[in-house]
Amino acid sequence: MLAILLMALATYATRAVGLWLASRLPMSGRVEAWLGYIPGAILISLVAPVVVSGGPAEALAALAVVAVALKTGNLLLSMLTGVGAVLILRSLIG
């Protein structure tokens, strides 16, 4: 119980402190540019290991997602394509 409460506190601290610190930074061009580069860099970091060290099924499904996303710009459709593709590809090629 204590462990859960302290976990909650620690997690909230990580969520609040970044926001708090950054909202106190002087918004120079350089700081703003840095903050603007964070989302892409974090998202790439989340997906790259899955795509690179996953199997061929994951890599091919990722290609399908990118193709659908670029073609349609539809997030939900891209996501469903990815899940469907990985489901089929895993059963075909493991």
Partner 1 sequence: MPAKPDHLENRPTDDTVTFTLDGALRGARSCAPIAASGFAIGLVFGVLARQAGLGAAEAAMMSALVFAGAAQFVVLGLWAAPAPVATVVLATLIVNLRHLLMGAALAPHFKGLSRLKAYGSAFFMADENWALAMGEFGKGHRDAAFLIGGGVVMCASWTTSTLIGGSLGNAVSDPARWGLDFAFTAMFLALLCGMWRGRRDILPWIVAAAVAVAAEMWLPGQWYILLGGLAGSLAGVARRAA
> What are the residues binding partner 1 (CB under 8 A)?
1-8, 10-23, 25, 27, 30, 32-53, 58, 61-62, 65-66, 68-70, 73, 75-76, 78-87, 90
Shortest distance, CB of residue 30 to partner 1, whole angstroms? 6
**Could you give phi then psi for residue 74, rounded to 5 degrees?**
-95, 115
Are residues 18 and 34 in contact, defined by beta-carbon separation less than 8 angstroms?
no
Are residues 59 and 51 in contact, defined by beta-carbon separation less than 8 angstroms?
yes
Are residues 90 and 59 in contact, defined by beta-carbon separation less than 8 angstroms?
no
Q: Considering the complex, state which of residue 50 and residue 93 has its C-beta at the smaller distance from partner 1.
A: 50
How far from the centroid of its chain's Cα atoms is residue 3's Cα?
A: 28
Shortest distance, CB of residue 9 to partner 1, whole angstroms? 8
Report the amino acid identity of residue 40: G
Shortest distance, CB of residue 1 to partner 1, whole angstroms? 7
